[in-house]
Structure 1
């Protein structure tokens, strides 16, 4: 056995998305970093070994997609991967290679794949001195020393070896007053899954299950348990097992049992179910996963324990470093052996249980990532300090990737400030939050306050600015012919967020259809809202209300004369136009998404949820609103939130379009950082393969005013990423900087969220 000793600033244990983002973030921020992964590929549950596509807050909240390193990776995946990725089981090795390339291309980042951590060396004062690991099939024993360690192993291996307190199972309802918690504490955890994938062969393909496959005969297991095999191509999340097995020590048993169940389920689909056997007739098994994807095991105790209360009524954390927004997604511990796998799915999307499970985006504090028992240990991933119920939301990979980037950045920033990671000062936490923002992350309660960003002190102008006026409905020939889109029927109250820039609103109009032969009456109201995720319906001040007459007819514009004055706060943000439920009227969707204009549906209990898939509803506001001004590129926020925070050029004026920053005195500029529009509205899986976001700028030029003319600093083509950093070869002295957009990836407007200048 060969023994090798290595020394780093930061060692990250675990190579899932939390670990990858932690390691990249630490290295990018100046820490010599090593990532250790016990599998041959990076990605964890998202890798081609397990094939769960990363999801997060944007699946339920428009414009809530995670940004930063995870966004950079997923944008690249959609741009170069040929595979549609809208269901589990589709992930392929293209994703593995994107992660691998990013790791090995990051300066200051070392890696060890196929390497398992099995011991730790502890120093004084409850501090890890080194981890001991073994490289599989290489007969090499590693001793990896570091100043800071980050446990992204999922199971909390490093924390357990170093003596940290941890929990496993569910807290009782009395401990934290969590509505989703069971009445008494128990040891049950969510189970593990494996996926399969089938291939359409274009001709009938027989299947005979092996004798050891699990026998399925009862259709109620599927149709009453919320486990309908809707797609013969496979990838069902509900192929899940946990109790009576331990998700850590019985992992191999669970893998075998899951394989038995996959073969039994496929046998049921191919040979027993009268409908599924027809749908699956031409399909053949192509792949069965053999690495269980875990949902839950150890949760390491830190300096703050996140609970359901922090998700439902989010406090403002001074050390907020990430956000979540997936619903409280708790699976039955028995999985396939239980009556149902997930109550919300079994009872339906509009059930009372599902309604109480939704959450708007919420902040997560750094203290959840700080191990309370070891001074130089951080956690990121599903093993952070959270209750079982809170884990139901925070465990998804979009969120864990943000936690990873936060942990890696925190480690590097703490080291640069000569502070311990378990006792970071308030000033260093403030610097950490600003660093996360600069690196592309979003924090709910933080804006860009970077004193080194001289763009914040510039005067900003643009070639043109888009106005918000009429958002036309989709050209529905079917609607004109008498058909209609049933999803547009006003089965419940709906709200449309409208960005405003003036104190006066003269009128609002909606495009509706009345397919009856009589005039119908439609309730309407206008409310002031603080931001686009303010889903509570009964607390905002009502500005005005009325009842609108809708005569028979299709695609009609119904005008509401308002002539109301808004408060100063409301006139710089959003109002929400609510239209009441009416089972004979249709409020039509817009032909295209108007950036930052979200819609929501009433789901009862005084709450709303995102309408549809993030669509905008057809409306008109008078007068036209200047809600995409150039000044927004220095608003300090890089997505729609309390306002649109976006500069958007007038779509009627064509290209090129430009935005300009000017200073009274000449500035020495060496770096320009740009955040473009796009990649925010929905989960990445809703974007087609080999395709960038149409809103994102494709070709542009960075110019400086020098010697009485505009001089080109850099020219870029085939751009599709959300962020672009320009390190100028030579610093320039100038009073004016301009970004000229020549082409987008399809949108008629140039659009930019932020420009930073250093």
Structure 2
């Protein structure tokens, strides 16, 4: 029994905790920051003000995770983010292809729970930041409402991943809120005051069909007149969740301090919308529907942005500028919304895409005036226009991974964040990120500690793609233009043979295209056009090009729109070989061709995007020159298709596909890392949008490792991961290592991207 008399004052129970890194904010960016650092041996405290992890991706808000892939609706091929955020999405796909947000919560919680170096504080709000000097944070103070405990958290480094930047703000870090004028950074797309300076919040709802009639009585605070929402005629009875992202409000208010006010207005809208769907009589199909869930907290888009030593701008995104300190990438469109949100007469968003992905420099990820403060997520150093792209969750998580690894290096080498910009430190940081799967566009991995770099490599076979054989029954209609992407070397364009069927005498127009820069996959350069007459019926068509390919890279054999023609398709799927289509995807402002108005600084180009499996099959064709997938790709430093497939593939006829690494003397190997093809073109949306697959067909399902005498060192029978690290309890001494592939997840040529060995 506890019994106390009157006390003039009582303080809450207080715990003082110390760590190497304190991460504030448990959204996807904060989670990726904390786990990345913890796996490198850093003691981390992760502070989250909600009862679960994930932020906008959690079951509290239920927004799908997206980044550079943009629902496969842009020209950013093989652009899903790598490293830890890829690991999370791949695991969610394996466990949760239905897109259940509650299951996704468990995936994130388990990832954190499994890390012994993380102390997780849920329901804990940071409310005070204390500095040891004007430019150095000493500690933050937080309070947990559930256990009535105050926490004093000290560390040499802090990462603010809180979305609103609570630590950075209280520490006095330079920040911005609102839009820059067009002339500050020369950004033509900077919005006017009329359009508004901030993006608003959104709330989502889920509906459920009960099978019996359901009545709905709207609460008194519901919006009375749905016509106040100019876009109300877009409503349907079956749309729900983040498909209704455009139910947005708050861009004219203070999106930090007015959040509760914004939430109430969004509740008014949500229940007014549902009242309209249920009771207007315009949606008889809604008779048996009920509200299953309505968000309790809004999903925030924009508030503060903090200044680093560099500020990302529109020009970095549009022109794919390169940076010596690149550590991450983005690729979502520059996506700005009218500040009046759902009450605006303007379109719900103003999305303009770049031709390819862009680098994010490390200088955007730390404060320019607080010496021990990193940023992750949407608060990184970017202009309002660039923020329109960098704000999305997968990009934010990717920056978190980079900030975490930077903190690790600062701790190990007793450096400050700014010191890592020096070339010798930046090279080490980039390599450390790449070892953990972080793709950095334009920066191939050059790892001097990788023993594979000094080995002689032999493969049981090397696949040579000569033909995408026709399927027995399938075809691709040219009701929309279609293209086959092929990785070819510079030199004469080889002949190609396809199989076409025409419903009438007509002409097949074929364009041979390539890209204007090797930084993107937009087919914006036409090298040659062929006009091929077709007779009614089925026929074999030979395409003989006279042009010379100027560079190594992907070419696009484009079969232009003609509804009278179908082409034979192929059952064969191959790493780095892809068909794309000049269709539309209005969800990401893809209308077949981007035609921006004059003066906004965006480029005009066509969209050529793949179809989702089980669609998106390759165009059947015979190649006059085989495409080789050599064993040497295993160590070329790029673990995904970029300007080439970058994979070793064995022949499909190879009954025992294997790759061997031979050294002149015994090596002492403690760790082997294998990089598999988990289809980086697939966005793997985390919630709401279901997927037909649990595992990607190009991924190795089972494999084994053997030493030079054939002894088995490791066997994996149930792999679905992109990166598999095998760490031996004691170093293995051997002059050879053999990796044997036993099974793939799909009917594809067996192979992988990389094998790396470390002493």
Same-fold call, TM cutoff 0.5? yes
Q: Which residue of 1 aligns with 2:431?
A: 434
> In the alignment, is the contact (CA less than 8 A) between 2:159 and 2:375 conserved in 1?
yes
CA contact (8 A) 2:509 2:560 kept: yes
Measure, in 1, the Cα distance between the counterparts of 2:746 and 2:453. Answer: 30
Q: Which residue of 2 aligns with 1:231?
A: 238
Deviation at 1:118, TM superposition (A): 0.7
Instruction: Write the deviation string for residues 186-220 of structure 1: whole angstroms up to 9, x where unpaired.
Output: 86311111111111112222222123211244398
Name the CA distance, whole Å, in 1 between partners of 2:173 and 2:228. 45
Residue matched to 1:688: 691
Residues in 2 aligned to 1:190 and 1:178: alpha-carbon distance in whole angstroms: 18
- For residues 449-472 of structure 1, the C-alpha deviation after alignment (integer angstroms, 9 at most, x for no partner) is 110001122222222222223324
Counterparts of 1:372 and 1:250, CA distance in 2: 28
- 2:188 and 2:466 map into 1 onto residues whose CA distance is 43
Distance 2:623 2:212 in 1: 59
CA distance in 2, matches of 1:189, 1:281: 38
Q: CA deviation at 1:590?
A: 4.6
| Alpha-carbon distance between aligned partners in 1 of 2:229 and 2:139, rounded to the nearest angstrom | 52
**Residue 253 in structure 1 maps to residue 227 in structure 2:** no
The answer to whether the 8 A contact 1:414-1:428 is kept is no
Distance 1:318 1:185 in 2: 38
Residues 1:670 and 2:676 are matched in the alignment = no
1:467 and 1:627 in contact (8 A); partners too? yes
Deviations 1:30-86 (A, max 9, x none): 3221111111111010011111110111123231111110111111112122x622x
CA distance in 2, matches of 1:29, 1:181: 40
* Structure-2 separation of matches of 1:16 and 1:193: 16
Is 1:114 the counterpart of 2:123? The answer is: yes
* Cα offset, 1:386, TM superposition: 0.7
Q: Distance in 2 between matches of 1:26 and 1:513?
A: 57
Q: What displacement does 1:723 show?
A: 0.9
Distance in 2, matches of 1:474 and 1:51, equals 40
- Seen in structure 2, the aligned counterparts of structure 1 residues 129 and 244 have a Cα distance that, compared at 3 Å, is same
| Contact 1:330-1:389 within 8 A present in 2 as well | yes
State which drifts further: 211-220 or 457-466.
211-220
The CA distance in 1 between the partners of 2:516 and 2:246, in whole Å, is 38
Do residues 387 (structure 1) and 387 (structure 2) align? no
Secondary structure in 2 matching 1:678? coil
2:575 aligned residue (591, 595, 603): 595
Q: Is the 8 A contact 1:695 1:745 kept in 2?
A: yes
SS at match of 2:227: coil
1:559 to 533, 538, 542: 542
2:106 pairs with 80, 89, 97, which one? 97
Give 2:739's aligned residue. Answer: 739
Partner of 1:691, secondary structure, is coil
1:609 equivalent among 602, 607, 610: 607
Q: How far did 1:591 drift?
A: 3.9
Partner of 1:199: 208
Distance 1:566 1:338, change over 3 A: closer
Match of 1:497 in 2: 485
**Paired residue for 1:24, among 35, 38, 58?**
35
Q: Any conservation in 1 of the 2:83–2:438 contact (CA below 8 Å)?
A: yes
Partner of 1:35: 46
CA positional deviation for 1:300: 0.7
Q: After the TM superposition, which of the residue ranges 712-721 and 684-693 deviates more from structure 2?
A: 684-693
- Helix, strand or coil at the partner of 2:377: coil
Establish whether residue 416 from structure 1 lines up as the match of residue 409 from structure 2. no
Cα separation, 2, equivalents of 1:511 and 1:387: 50
Aligned pairs for 1:211-226 (under 5 A) are 211-218=220-227, 221-222=230-231
Asked if the contact 1:670/1:727 (under 8 Å) is kept, the reply is yes
Aligned residue number for residue 574 of structure 1: 554
- Mapped to 1, the partners of 2:149 and 2:438 lie a distance apart of 38
Q: Matches of 1:358 and 1:666 in 2, distance apart?
A: 49
Say whether residues 1:456 and 2:453 are aligned partners.
yes
Distance (Å, rounded) in 1 between the aligned partners of 2:434 and 2:549: 31
CA contact (8 A) 1:588 1:617 kept: no
- Could you tell me which residue of structure 1 aligns to residue 702 of structure 2? 699
Q: What pairs with 1:343-492 in structure 2 (closer than 5 Å)?
A: 343-344=349-350, 354=351, 356-424=352-420, 425-472=422-469, 476=473, 485=477, 488-490=478-480
Matched, 1:534 2:521: yes
Question: Which digits, 9 at most, give the CA deviation of each residue in 1:72-116, with x for residues without a partner?
Answer: 1111112122x622xxxx522x21121111112113221211111
Contact 2:466–2:627 (CA<8 Å) still a contact in 1? no
Closer, same or farther in 2 for the Cα pair 1:244/1:746, shift >3 Å? Answer: same
C-alpha spacing 1:231/1:62, structure 2 compared with 1 (3 Å): farther
Structure 1 segment 20-99 matched on structure 2, within 5 A:
20-59=31-70, 60=74, 61-81=76-96, 84-85=98-99, 90-92=100-102, 94-99=103-108
Please tell me whether the aligned partners of residues 230 and 344 of structure 2 are also in contact (alpha carbons under 8 angstroms). Answer: no
- 1-structure distance, mates of 2:159, 2:665: 45
Across the two proteins, how many residue pairs are aligned to each other? Answer: 717
CA contact (8 A) 2:442 2:519 kept: no
C-alpha deviation, 1:129, in angstroms: 0.8
Aligned to 2:463, the other structure's residue is in SS state coil
The 3 A distance-change label for structure 1 pair 408 and 249 is same
Instruction: Find the aligned partners of 1:338 and 1:589 in 2 and give their Cα distance.
Output: 45
Give the Cα–Cα distance (whole angstroms) in 2 for the partners of residues 308 and 52 of structure 1: 25
Task: Please say which of residues 290-299 and 663-672 is displaced more in the overlay.
Answer: 663-672
Tell me, what secondary structure is at the counterpart of 2:434?
A: helix
For residue 623 of structure 1, report the CA deviation from its aligned partner: 3.0
User: 1: CA distance between counterparts of 2:618 and 2:717?
Assistant: 34
Q: How does 1:315-334 map to 2 (within 5 A)?
A: 315-334=321-340
Deviations 1:142-174, CA, capped at 9 Å, x for gaps: 111111110000001111100112111111222
- Return 676-685 or 284-293, whichever deviates more: 676-685
1:525 to 504, 512, 518: 512
- Check conservation: 1:499, 1:625, Cα contact below 8 A: no
Structure 1 residues 173, 582: CA separation in 2 closer, same or farther (over 3 Å shift)? farther
Deviates more, 1:174-183 or 1:324-333: 174-183
User: Cα offset for 1:328?
Assistant: 1.1
1:616–1:311 CA distance, 2 compared to 1 (3 A): farther
CA 1:73–1:536 in structure 2 vs 1: closer, same or farther (change >3 Å)? same
Q: Distance in 2 between matches of 1:359 and 1:223?
A: 33
Q: Which runs of 5+ in 1 are unaligned?
A: 345-353
CA deviation profile, 1:264-304 (whole Å, cap 9, x unmatched): 11111122252xx2332221111111011100000011111
Partner in structure 2 of residue 351 of structure 1 = none
Q: Alpha carbon RMSD of aligned pairs, Å?
A: 2.5
Structure 2 SS opposite 1:315: coil
Aligned partners of 1:357 and 1:414: how far apart in 2?
36
Q: Structure 1 residues 217 and 604 mapped into 2: Cα distance closer, same or farther (>3 Å)?
A: closer
Q: Deviations over 1:479-501 (max 9, x none)?
A: 6xxxx75xx424x5x54321126
| Aligned with residue 306 of structure 2, among 288, 300, 303 | 300
Conservation of the 8 A alpha-carbon contact between 2:594 and 2:607? no
- Please state whether the residue corresponding to 1:735 is helix, strand or coil: strand
Contact 1:500 / 1:625 at 8 angstroms: preserved in 2? no
Corresponding residue number in structure 2 for 1:350: none
- Aligned to 2:666, what secondary structure does the other structure show? strand
Match of 1:549 in 2: 533
SS of the residue corresponding to residue 220 of structure 2 reads coil
SS in 1 for 2:727: strand
Question: How far apart, in 1, do the equivalents of 2:468 and 2:673 lie?
Answer: 32
After TM superposition, the structure 1 = structure 2 runs for residues 261-272 of structure 1, keeping only pairs within 5 Å, are 261-272=269-280
Counterpart contact for 2:247–2:341, Cα < 8 Å: yes
